[in-house]
A and B are shown apart, each in its own frame.
Chain A
Amino acid sequence: EIVLTQSPGTLSLSPGERATLSCRASQTVNSRFLAWYQRKPGQPPRLLLYAASSRATGIPDRFSGRWSGTDFTLTISRLEPEDFAVYFCHQYGSSPPITFGQGTRLEI
């Protein structure tokens, strides 16, 4: 099973700042099948990026993703007030099991 470890657990920043969130896989992940989500209380997760770096429909360009080996990064270039939420990564490759990171809480 591929374990996804996210860091930091909590990230405290201010609007306008840059946020960098990490997701490290325990083994090789096909970058085509790595997604990032945003989750707010009482709402289902919102897909931000798929295939590690492709923005989902309607996602603003301040959200970006990159990867190197087993390390995946979500960057929010300039935080808006609505960006404060929990973010998690998700690998959904062709071979189960599919796994999720434990999440990073982005707080003001």
Chain B
Amino acid sequence: DVQMVESGGDLVKPGGSLRLSCVVSGITFSNALMNWVRQAPGKGLEWVGRIKTETDGRTVDYAESVRGRFTISRDDSRDTLYLHMSSLKIEDTAVYHCMTIRQRYGDGYWGQGVLVTVSS
């Protein structure tokens, strides 16, 4: 079974920092383009950013709303995706999911998500 398990969610004050992790099992993580997606309370899904594989240069793209504040990285030796968040704003409050689509294999997976609350 494929599992994608996020962790690191917490209550943090505006301006603070947090690091989320997503541990992946059941697929070859190093071959997977990985995304972070969030959903704020009562809102739709918002793409946060993605990181490509080492083969594709580990290129990272970000949504405009988080560029310069969030950093996505990956550790293929640990099958883990990271989201480093800094200068957090109240509007960053959301459930954060890691996800991937693997067209080559005809599948795609999301983690259950982790809650980040930014509040004073």
Contact = CB atoms under 8 A, between A and B. Distances in A.
B35 interface: yes
Nearest to B107: A57
A47 B61 contact: no
B106 A56 contact: yes
A97 B47 contact: yes
Instruction: Say whether chain A's binding surface is mostly helix, strand, loop, or mixed.
Output: loop
Interface residues of B, number: 24
A43 B4 CA distance: 13
A88 B110 CA distance: 14
A45 B39 CA distance: 12
A35 B44 contact: no
Chain A interface size, as a band, is 20 to 34
A47 B100 CA distance: 10
B103 A45 contact: no
A36 to B, nearest CB: 11
Interface of A: 32, 35, 43-45, 47, 50-51, 54-57, 88, 90, 92, 96-103
Given A35-B108, A92-B35, A97-B64, 10 more contacts: A35-B101, A44-B99, A44-B111, A44-B113, A57-B107, A90-B45, A98-B35, A98-B47, A100-B46, A100-B47
